[in-house]
Amino acid sequence: MKRVSADPSYVTYVADRTLPDCSVVTDHIPLDVLRKICFFLDDPKEVIHFGSVKRHWSPLLSNPPLWNSLLHKHFPYADAKLKPKTESPENLILYKQLAKITHNARVGHYNLQFFNGDESTIQCLKIWNDKYIFSAQGGMIRIWDPNMGQELQVLGSHQDWINCLTIWGDQLISGSEDKTIKIWDLRTRQELQTLNGHRGPIVCLKIWNDQLISSADDEDDPMIRIWDLHTGKEIRTLEGHDKEVICLKIWGDQLISSSEDQTIKIWDLHTGKEIRTLKGYGGQIFCLKIRDDKLIAALGDSTIKIWDLHTGKEIRTLKGHNKTVFDLKVCGGKLISSSEDGTVKIWDFDTGKELQTLQGHSSHVDHIAILGSTLISSSNEIQMWDLDTGKEIRTIENYHHIISKVMVSGGKLISISSTIKIWNFE
């Protein structure tokens, strides 16, 4: 039997020229057998070629178990959501996009856009209808269209810095150091209402079932407030923490809150009643993540703790960093942490075993993001790492300002400091 090369370029040549109608081969093979063959495609290029050769092969690849397997195999860190349709090539298009983004990120092919702000650091950024909405100096909110390359409008009525932004439909909600929450119509760009009640600077905003949940950074105001977003009226307050509440997370119909009183509380959002309190850690919580019904906390005492959210029992404590842990990401069975000690660590999420330590930053590592199989971390510079091998790929930016955040949206990497920079790898 003659052996045929598996090189994708050869496969394309054969498909395009040697076999004008590939269905001659496949029409007599049961679909279940063809799907099993697909499981052996070991490279994204092979999948793309396979799906592109003949129109009816693309629907073949829309089988959900097959797609989930291929995505997990070739793009284990991608946050991609499939919408399988038996008569649509959407999955193949998505696959091509993921392959292109992953390749371009590795080889450094990108288009760079940036918005020059003022001398101060931008704190918050939200994306709405491809518009970038961010907080600026003096309590201003600026709206920038990167496609047009111009600023559209500046919204201003807060009297102090804006600490947090969130979006509800076509409305923007902002929380400020001036102790107020404002709601804006993003279509008309008009202020709709101001919510008063907190006695300290607003630090957290979350939305659940058309309700706004807020907390303030004030030891004398440790209450969590819940508002009706349709009327702007306060529905209830959650009382239980002894000091200011600094972080909020939604888990189904439950709210998770962490406080300077060194406790984490879980609340029933339907009744407002406290379900349980998690204790046994020290220092401020810099980050909370939820994954597979588990709560992960980055702590000021340099440890990472994981709890079972159903039982409230502590599962394990991860020790390895020697200074405060600032940020966490969970993807592809791995937990990634960044720290004030200047390192990034990769852990096995299921066992808690430390797999790798990434070193190379000149200072503390504040933020991390995932783009395909590439890890991005920020300090005084932005660095890219191979998530599979832990090897450094490149440094893509050195800054003279504090980087307040790095994030990934689609095929774009976004960094926020006194400027907003967008690396488009699509």
What is residue 332's predicted lDDT score, i.e. its pLDDT? 82
Is residue 368 within 8 A of residue 375, CB to CB? The reply is yes
Is residue 256 within 8 A of residue 248, CB to CB? The reply is yes
Token digits of residue 359: 């070193």
Which DSSP string corresponds to 307-320? EETTT--EEEEE--
CA distance 161 to 137: 7
Q: Is 169 left (phi over 0), alpha (psi -120 to 50) or beta?
A: left
CA distance 323 to 380: 17
CB atoms within 10 A of CB 424: 17
Is residue 155 within 8 A of residue 141, CB to CB? The reply is yes
* Nearest by Cα to 205 from 196, 197, 216, 214: 214
Residue with tokens 């288009």: 111
Q: Which residues contact 274 (CB under 8 A, 6 or more apart)?
A: 238, 240, 265, 266, 267, 268
| First-to-last C-alpha distance (Å) of the chain | 42
Which DSSP string corresponds to 115-183? EE--SSPP--EEEETTEEEEEETTTEEEEEETTTTEEEEEEE--SS-EEEEEEETTEEEEEETTS-EEE
Does the reported pTM lie above 0.75? yes
CB atoms within 10 A of CB 137: 16
What is the mean pLDDT for each group of 10 consecutive residues in the chain (426 residues)? 36 38 59 77 79 64 74 75 54 81 87 77 89 88 91 91 96 97 96 96 96 92 95 96 93 95 94 91 83 92 94 95 94 93 96 95 92 90 92 86 84 89 91
* Nearest by Cα to 174 from 193, 245, 183: 183
CA distance 259 to 215: 10
Is residue 278 within 8 A of residue 292, CB to CB? The reply is no
Question: In DSSP terms, which residues pair with 346 in a beta bridge?
Answer: 336, 356
What is residue 36's predicted lDDT score, i.e. its pLDDT? 79
Furthest CA-CA distance within the chain: 81
